[in-house]
Every structure is written in structure tokens, then in C-alpha cells.
A = this chain, B = another copy of it.
Amino acid sequence: MTFTLAQRTQRMNSSAIREILKVTERPGVLSMAGGLPAPESFPIEAIQVACDQVLSTQGAAALQYATTEGLPPLREWIARRLSQGGWRVDASQVLITTGSQQGLDLVGKVMLDEGSPVLVEQPTYLGALQAFAPYGPVFQPWAADALGPLPKTLSARLAYLVPSFQNPSGHCIGDARRREIALQAERSNMPVVEDNPYGELWFDQPPPPPLATHAPEQVIYLGSFSKVLAPGLRVGYIVTPSGDHPGTQALRAKFLQAKQASDLHTPVLNQRIIVQLLESGFDLEAHLDTVRARYRAQRDAMAAALSRCLPPGCTWQLPQGGMFFWVTCRPGHIDTLQRLPLAVEAGVAYVPGASFYAGHAPAPANTMRLSFVTLSPAQIGEAVARLARCLV
């Protein structure tokens, strides 16, 4: 049977990455494609203990329906943690989401009409493009220089950016540029969606404070426990702008209503496991230090392998955090999308850079995203050597 589908389905596409991941699941392929955190970094035993305690002592509550906003102690913990710098966050601003992907979907649902202009970095996070696209916005490339997006022209329904260790570029916007963007957003009263899944994954020093610190009434902030604890729990959060202006309260109410209509609430068991873990003496800082050390070693292994193996003309920046290298091959020389089947044949996989470009301008065909968090340092060396042989 052929049914009439919503017109927005014409704007939906399967994630190129997910399609690639399927191909790369064949045995023998060393994949630098997926952004899967190393499972060795998950605090499995601590989660197991927390889960057991939750089900032993609060089993009925952990398995029952719950409030749409999320568990109060979890919202309070998030507000406290985000308030450690200069940003003041109140628990009433925090809405727990089913992963921060849901946060992106709710941003689209609440903020975007068909035709709404949305400023996005080039390249930008593919999952955000996917989440927003069904709502029909017009993506506008955000003009940028080497320091990041330029603050000058901020006139759109909203601007979206990943300021710290961006997916896919790995770039971290510096403090001065953050302040300039925040200031300009306030001046032009344009909401900024600050997506920060990687901020805790720094290697040498923390990234500058979030943009929200400088424009707390202007920024819709998205966070997640996926990179900090484990993605399979699917617990993220939205921090709505601060203040109690009627407009801010209306925005908060609409996010809540959109969340309620989308899945009632995020699984309570998962929220309670995290609260139990965080309140029972689990040393989050020590855990994060371990993860950072692991990823730093993997980053270093990839940096060394890239320098050793890649043909002349390939360029990249050393990421100071996060999970990705962004490699640019000699212009006109390589089409990374065309070259991918050959690479998979040779036992290695990456994501072609064109996947991360929205809109009208032709995406550069000579870029690729390499994840360093899934493979061991030795595997990374071998994977990059295989890749290099495909780029000749």
C-alpha cells in the first residue's frame, strides 16, 4: 500500500554515518568512522552497583511514570556542576532529555518554522542537521575565519554551534571569540544553541567557559552524559535561558510541552542510576581523568601515524580534546566519498567530510573525519597506514 506521507519526509534522510557504519561492521575493517566511545571507558561496575542499589531501595519509583522535567536531584546536580564557573544555572532551567539528540529535536520543534533561517558552522554536526531538517529551516553557512564563526552578522531564527572540540572538525573556539559571539547575539536578540557534548573531554586544559556564561539569557545549552558516563543510557539535558521574563518562561513551557508530547519523560531507571552513581562517592573527576588520558594517548597515536603515513599535501589540526581529526587532502586530488569503497576493501573506514555540510554551497570533496576513540593506539597505526595507501 502507498500512503500519503507528510511533506517533511522529503527532507528526511538516513544518516550517512549510520549507513557507513553498517558497511564497516564487516570483520577485519578497522573503523575510524563511528564516534563510538571506547567501551573500556564506561564505568560498568560502578553503574552496576548503582543500578542494584536503585532497584533494591527505590525499585517502584524507578520503574513508574515520572515527571516530564526529569528527576529533581539530577536537575540539581547538573545545575550545580554547570555553575562551577561564572555561569549561574538554576535547576528550574534544566530539562532532562533522552540523549542530547532529543534536545536537538526539541529545539527544532519549538523554534523552527518552514523557511526559518538557521546559522550553522561549515562543517557542522550531522545529527543537528538531521534533527532540524524535518522542520524545514533554511540552513545558512556561518562565515568563519581560523578562530571560528564570525560574530558580525547574526540575523537568523537561531544559530547553532559546537564550540568545544567540534564534531567533525575538532576545533575549539577561544574565549575572546566566544565573548564576541555572545555579545553580538545579545545585541541582535538572536538565540544561540550551544551544543556541548565534548567539553569534558579536554586533554591539556579545559576549554574556555561556555558561551552561556557570557549571554545566559540568550543561549539554549545542550549537554549529555553520553561522553562522560555512557551513551547507551541516553540521558542528556537542555538548559533553557536564565531569567524569569515572560518570554523565557514561555520558551521553557513550550520545551516542556514538546518533551511531554515526544516521549512523556526520559526513562526513570536511567536517571536514578546516574543520580545514585554521582551521590554515592563515585569519583567523577578521577573517572574523567582516566578517559582523558586514554583519549589523549589515542589522539597522540593518530597524530603520529598521520604524520608518518599520509601523502604530502594532506593537512590537519591537532585536536585539543574531543574525539575527531579532520583531514583535508590535496584539493582536487581525492574525492573521499568516491574513495570510501576502496578504503573499506582495504580494511579501513572513515566518514567523508561532505556529510557534514548543509545547504547550497558545494561541500569540499577532499575532507574526511577520523575518530580516534574506538581503536587502540596500535590499531590506529595500522588503520592510518591502510588509509594512506588508499590516498595515493
- Give chain A's interface residues, CB within 8 Å of chain B: 1-9, 12-15, 18, 34, 36-37, 39-40, 42, 44, 47-48, 51-52, 55-56, 59-66, 68, 97-99, 101-102, 105, 109-113, 116, 127, 130-131, 133-135, 157-158, 189, 191, 217-218, 229-234, 241, 243, 245-248, 250-251, 253-254, 256-258, 260-270
Q: Return the contact of A4 from the options B55, B60, B134, B157 (Cβ within 8 A).
A: B157
- Are A232 and B63 touching (Cβ within 8 A)? yes
- Are A99 and B1 touching (Cβ within 8 A)? no
Q: In the complex, what residues of B have CB within 8 A of residue A248's CB? A: 1
Q: In the complex, what residues of B have CB within 8 A of residue A99's CB? A: 263-264
| A268-B98 Cα distance, complex, nearest whole Å | 12
Given A113-B7, A189-B1; A101-B266 close (CB under 8 Å): no
In whole Å, how far is A211's beta carbon from the nearest beta carbon of chain B? 14
| A131-B309 Cα distance, complex, nearest whole Å | 53
In whole Å, how far is A36's beta carbon from the nearest beta carbon of chain B? 6
- Are B42 and A60 touching (Cβ within 8 A)? yes
- Are B48 and A52 touching (Cβ within 8 A)? yes
Q: Return the contact of A6 from the options B12, B34, B102, B113 (Cβ within 8 A).
A: B113
- Are A64 and B36 touching (Cβ within 8 A)? yes
In whole Å, how far is A173's beta carbon from the nearest beta carbon of chain B? 22
Nearest chain B residue, comparing its CB with the CB of A253:
B14
- Are A267 and B60 touching (Cβ within 8 A)? no
- Are A267 and B264 touching (Cβ within 8 A)? no
Q: In the complex, what residues of B have CB within 8 A of residue A217's CB? A: 1
Q: In the complex, what residues of B have CB within 8 A of residue A116's CB? A: 6
Q: In the complex, what residues of B have CB within 8 A of residue A34's CB? A: 65
Nearest chain B residue, comparing its CB with the CB of A186:
B1
| A2-B47 Cα distance, complex, nearest whole Å | 41
Q: In the complex, what residues of B have CB within 8 A of residue A64's CB? A: 36-37, 39, 42, 230-232
| A7-B112 Cα distance, complex, nearest whole Å | 8
| A51-B49 Cα distance, complex, nearest whole Å | 11
Q: Return the contact of A13 from the options B52, B257, B264 (Cβ within 8 A).
A: B257
Q: Return the contact of A8 from the options B13, B109, B263 (Cβ within 8 A).
A: B109
- Are A263 and B102 touching (Cβ within 8 A)? yes
List the 6 closest A-B pairs by CB distance, nearest first.
A2-B247, A39-B60, A63-B230, A44-B59, A232-B268, A63-B232
A sample of 6 cross-chain residue pairs with beta-carbon separation below 8 angstroms, ordered by A number, consists of: A1-B218, A1-B243, A12-B258, A51-B51, A97-B263, A102-B262
- Are B101 and A262 touching (Cβ within 8 A)? yes
| A59-B59 Cα distance, complex, nearest whole Å | 20
